[in-house]
Structure 1
């Protein structure tokens, strides 16, 4: 049996691998960037493998680092769960809720306000995530994820069918009568959606429309909606969010069903605190 590396080294690797930043890992663990770098280097020397590719301004995992990271995260998750099971969960521990910025601002915020009025004693911690890799076992009691729901090791609850509809600022909307009128406009694409403009154009009966439009791609939906609000093009949003994004209106009532949905998600094995259970039920009831 191989001797395990020191826990501090493993913590440094897990945090740096998750954030892809020695600086962010240092801030998270309360040490300097240099300390994280040193611990990771000592860990690499111990196991005889490089875990990171160090670029001048960025950090990337090596194949070995990518392969090892899930095991390390799972190990820390089990330690956390075991500690809670044996020693209990204190009422002072906040309920951590992680989701995308668009859901935080447009859907979750009013529900959190209502929850706080009903249960003022519940401490909450909201964490943002953009990419699928931002989600996972590290620290969240509840997540709201977008996808097909094919995640292992979690309990999940669908928030309902999603339909995507175009939105833009009112002056532009007034000039658009039919989907064909979008020709020559800028279509704002949010990368990562299973159904995007190509699917909407098919549903709208204008399958060749994209070739007659300009395109601008963004890595998150917040940016596409901000650009659309400023007259920078037409974005797709979820029908459930209509009316929650000021300054945006649908130019026509044509939408497309997505095979992805928003899901409430929580780890299966983790012991659930009373406060986390109340937050979960509140979100289920207010979907």
Structure 2
């Protein structure tokens, strides 16, 4: 037992490892960035190993940090589960919901607004996930993930089949009558999706146009859609995310390409689900057929 580092140090490591930011970890734990940095440094001194590589504006885990993190996550998860089993779910705690920013803006926001009208007592804490590695069962009651559903240790509910189609500003759309009119325009690419512009162009019968178009590649879909709304090019959007957008139109509404990836509601399979988290889950899943 004497080898166990202080819990505050372990919390600082877990939060910093999950967010890859001492500042974000400090915000999460309600302490300063300097406090997180000091706790991690003391932990590293206790262990005799570096857990992070400090870059100018970011952090990465060292190999030993990556190897140790699953054990820390599992330990905190077991403490949480044991506490719930013995003492029951803590009332008054918000339901933590994690999703990408674009999904929060375009799909989640109207559904949460409607939920609050029906159930004003619900308390929700939204957490943004930017990269696939941001997701994980720890720390979130419900997640909305995008992929093929190949995750272990979680319960999943598909939000339905997904299709992608082009969108742009109304002014640009007025110049596009057929897919061939995309020649010479800028295609806005978002990395990380199984289906992209190559797939859509092939489905539209103009696969050869990709080399005849300019391109801008972004690491997130928020930026491609922002550029598209400003007339900077044409982006691909999931049909599900188009329903709340009034700044984008689709020039070819009848041409879309199916994706083998989907949006999923995800929650830890081992965690006891409290009433409020169950209510949010059911609310988000209820109109799956309609979307």
Alignment TM-score, normalising by the size of structure 1 = 0.95
**Aligned counterpart, 1:139:** 139
1:28 deviates by 2.0
**Aligned counterpart, 1:276:** 277
**Aligned counterpart, 1:57:** 57
Q: Is the 8 A contact 1:198 1:207 kept in 2?
A: yes
Q: Secondary structure at the match of 1:208?
A: helix
1:74 deviates by 2.0
Distance 1:238 1:57, change over 3 A: closer
1:78 deviates by 1.8
**Aligned counterpart, 2:165:** 165
Q: Is the 8 A contact 2:194 2:261 kept in 1?
A: yes
Q: Secondary structure at the match of 1:222?
A: helix
> Structure 1 residues 243-252 or 269-278, which shifts more?
243-252
> Structure 1 residues 275-284 or 129-138, which shifts more?
129-138
Q: Is the 8 A contact 1:157 1:265 kept in 2?
A: yes
Structure 1 residue ranges (4+ consecutive) displaced by more than 6 angstroms after TM superposition:
none
Q: Secondary structure at the match of 2:11?
A: helix
Cα root mean square deviation, aligned: 1.5
> Structure 1 residues 156-165 or 233-242, which shifts more?
233-242
Q: For residues 157-206 of structure 1, give each alpha carbon's deviation from its aligned partner in whole angstroms, at most 9, with x where no partner exists.
A: 00000000000111211111221211111111111111111111121112
Q: Secondary structure at the match of 2:44?
A: helix
**Aligned counterpart, 2:106:** 106
Count how many residue pairs are aligned between Structure 1 and Structure 2.
Answer: 287
Q: For residues 234-284 of structure 1, give each alpha carbon's deviation from its aligned partner in whole angstroms, at most 9, with x where no partner exists.
A: 000011233321121111121111111000000001110011111111111
1:222 deviates by 1.5
Q: Secondary structure at the match of 1:57?
A: coil
- Structure 2, unaligned runs of 5 or more: none
Map 1:79-94 → 2, pairs under 5 A:
79-94=79-94
**Aligned counterpart, 2:12:** 12
Q: For residues 48-82 of structure 1, give each alpha carbon's deviation from its aligned partner in whole angstroms, at most 9, with x where no partner exists.
A: 22111112332211111122212212211221122
Structure-1 separation of matches of 2:39 and 2:242: 48
